[in-house]
Amino acid sequence: MSASAAMRQERERWEAQRRWARAGFAYLLLILFSLLFLGPLLFAALSSVKTDPLGYPPTLLSPQLAPANWAAAAKLGREGAKAPLWGGFAPGANVNVELTYFVPQGTEAAAPTATVPRRRPGGGLGAVQQIDYAADYAVVAPVVEVGRRAGVHGADAQAGEFVTYRVTVTYPGAGPKVDRLPLDVESASRAIEFVSSTLPPTRLERLGLVASFQAVTPGALGYLLGNYRRVFTEARSVTTGDSLFMRWTWNTFVYAFFRVVVTLFIATTAGYALARLRFPGRNLMFLLVLFAQMVPMQVLFISNYLVLRDGIWGLSSLWGQATLLNSLPGLLFVTALNAGPVFIMKQFFESIPREVEESAMMDGASYWSRFSRVVLPMARPALGALIILSFQGAWNDFFWPLVVLTTPEDIKTLPIGLLTFRNVYGNSGDWGLILAGAILSALPVIVLFIVFQRYFMEGVTYGGGKE
């Protein structure tokens, strides 16, 4: 091989390595950015299944994510209510929970004391509900020892014995099915240390003396998704008894749907008129659209509030409403009129060649026919992007609904409802339910983006390669 061929081969190898290095650096940046943007959402999703998201030190993994605990929860749910998925406590239940303690050498082993406390399932909005307590129907049998083995425990390898006890809770006679069976097991001595149990306890209280179980028969899904279940069951309307979270979600869907429909209608018709029609004052109107786009909602919210309070200068009395406050139509009346979508559609329509419309005009098509049958089908990429942006804006809208929707709780949208969760449950440190509600509120927007992402990307990049 000649020297020139060897140098050429070496140069090609170096260029290939350089390309791979650039590609690797680009992928590394993408991974870092994805972790930066998705990291908080992932951490919130993992923390939403914890019974105590504020536990220290913070960890990504929790007992709720261990498959072995799912199997144990399913077994206990079957014993408690013949319901391995969602668990409970029903007549005929015979629940057996085993707990292992370490008894140091020189300390006499003594059986712990087990009780079913009269404890509510949660704080906040669930504290005012009428519920059945498992303590009114449960019978706790004497704790019995079922196993013992010698061993060492702790960082200092202290010698002693591991003693396993069995706690049996039954539901004799008839009665209602109870959603939860709480259980507290108190050690006989502070020298006897709790080690493990059939299902990990919710928390260790009184410096480890009491192993407290919030629900000892949760079922597999109840153990993993207990906070998500509480989102729908605990927060209920005081007037109708319906789930407030479901009501908030429905209100937000209705608001977002009609806002998307009204936005699409106004943006497409006004954008087409500004892009294709010739009429006096067209440029001035376009400047007004640009100016309206620059004015934030916070500047106009007082005047808009007064307009809604007076029922659009009294016009709302024609259909029996003295005011549009605390109503979804009032919320839609202000937010649906947005200059941004009009500007987007105008710019998109101007990128469509006029020759397409001229061909339809030669066939006798009117303005409306050209708009609805020719131009609008070609605008699907922009419409897809507009649907995502409008739906996301309505779904996450917080400021204006907070101003308009105050009472009752049933009329609120989901972001304002989550603020209610924050105010009610945050004071008691019950952040698992708050995080579960936040994750559920993010799912519709994520699904919408996945469905329309092709149109969204086309709408963003359309015209980038136009000559």
Give the closest residue to 245 by CA, choosing from 122, 53, 87, 415. Answer: 415
Residue 237 burial (CB count, 10 A): 15
Same-domain check for residues 259 and 360: yes
**Could you tell me if residue 383 is inside a domain?**
yes
**Could you tell me if residue 430 is inside a domain?**
yes
Give the closest residue to 329 by CA, choosing from 254, 410, 416. Answer: 254
Same-domain check for residues 73 and 205: yes
Same-domain check for residues 275 and 376: yes
113-122 pLDDT per residue, tens = 999 998 876 6
User: For residues 422 and 424, what is the distance between their CA atoms, to the nearest angstrom?
Assistant: 6
70-114 pLDDT per residue, tens = 999 999 999 999 999 999 999 999 999 999 999 998 888 899 999
Residue keyed to tokens 């709780």: 409
223: pLDDT strictly greater than 90: yes
300: pLDDT strictly greater than 90: no
pTM: 0.81
Same-domain check for residues 401 and 267: yes
126: pLDDT strictly greater than 90: no
Confidence of residue 62 (pLDDT cuts 50, 70, 90): confident
Between residues 159 and 277, which one has the greater pLDDT?
159
Q: Which amino acid is at 124?
A: G
Mean pLDDT taken over the chain: 84
Same-domain check for residues 115 and 213: yes
- Of 179, 204, 231, the position where a domain reaches its end is 231
Give me the pLDDT at residue 34, please.
72
Q: Which amino acid is at 376?
A: L
137 in Cβ contact with 178 (< 8 Å): yes
Vertex 29: Cα angle to 24 and 31 (nearest 5): 95
Same-domain check for residues 333 and 207: no
**Secondary structure string (H, E, C) spanning the chain:** CCHHHHHHHHHHHHHHHHHHHHHHHHHHHHHHHHHHHHHHHHHHHHHCCCCCCCCCCCCCCCHHHCHHHHHHHHHHHHHHHCCCCCCCECCCCEEEEEEEEEEECCCCCCCCEEECCCCCCCCHHHHHCCCCCHHHCCEECCCEEEEEEEEEECCCCEEEEEEEEEEEEECCCCCCCECCCCEEEECCCCCCEEEEECCCCCEEECCCCEEEECCCCCCHHHHHCHHHHHHHHCCECCCCCCEHHHHHHHHHHHHHHHHHHHHHHHHHHHHHHHHHCCCCCHHHHHHHHHHHHHCCHHHHHHHHHHHHHCCCCCHHHHHCCCCCCCCHHHHHHHHCCCHHHHHHHHHHHHHCCHHHHHHHHHCCCCHHHHHHHHHHHHCHHHHHHHHHHHHHHHHCCCHHHHHHCCCCHHHCCHHHHHHHHHHHHHHHCCHHHHHHHHHHHHHHHHHHHHHHHHHHHHHHHCCCCCC
Give me the pLDDT at residue 369, please.
81
**Could you tell me if residue 20 is inside a domain?**
no
252: pLDDT strictly greater than 90: yes
Same-domain check for residues 223 and 270: no
Same-domain check for residues 222 and 356: no
Between residues 441 and 124, which one has the greater pLDDT?
441
Q: Which residues have C-beta within 8 Å of that of residue 61, sequence separation ≥ 6?
A: 46
Between residues 367 and 25, which one has the greater pLDDT?
25
User: For residues 155 and 261, what is the distance between their CA atoms, to the nearest angstrom?
Assistant: 65
**Could you tell me if residue 164 is inside a domain?**
yes
Total count of domains within the chain = 2
CATH assignment at residue 264? 1.10.3720.10
Report the half-sphere exposure of 31 (CA within 13 A, side-chain side): 6
Give the closest residue to 323 by CA, choosing from 332, 333, 312, 334. Answer: 312
Same-domain check for residues 250 and 219: no
387: pLDDT strictly greater than 70: yes
Six-digit token string for 138: 């449960």
390 in Cβ contact with 259 (< 8 Å): yes
467: pLDDT strictly greater than 60: no
Same-domain check for residues 77 and 190: yes
Residue 103: strand pairing partners: 161
277: pLDDT strictly greater than 90: no
Q: Which domain holds residue 368?
A: 244-461
199-220 pLDDT per residue, tens = 999 888 888 899 999 999 999 9
Residue keyed to tokens 């020297």: 3
User: For residues 119 and 361, what is the distance between their CA atoms, to the nearest angstrom?
Assistant: 75
Same-domain check for residues 137 and 256: no
User: For residues 117 and 213, what is the distance between their CA atoms, to the nearest angstrom?
Assistant: 10
**Could you tell me if residue 58 is inside a domain?**
no
Same-domain check for residues 223 and 368: no
Mean pLDDT value of segment 181-192: 92
463: pLDDT strictly greater than 50: no
**Could you tell me if residue 18 is inside a domain?**
no
296: pLDDT strictly greater than 70: yes
- Of 231, 266, 301, the position where a domain reaches its end is 231
**Could you tell me if residue 426 is inside a domain?**
yes
**Could you tell me if residue 16 is inside a domain?**
no
- Of 200, 231, 262, the position where a domain reaches its end is 231
User: For residues 176 and 202, what is the distance between their CA atoms, to the nearest angstrom?
Assistant: 25
130: pLDDT strictly greater than 90: no
Give me the pLDDT at residue 2, please.
67
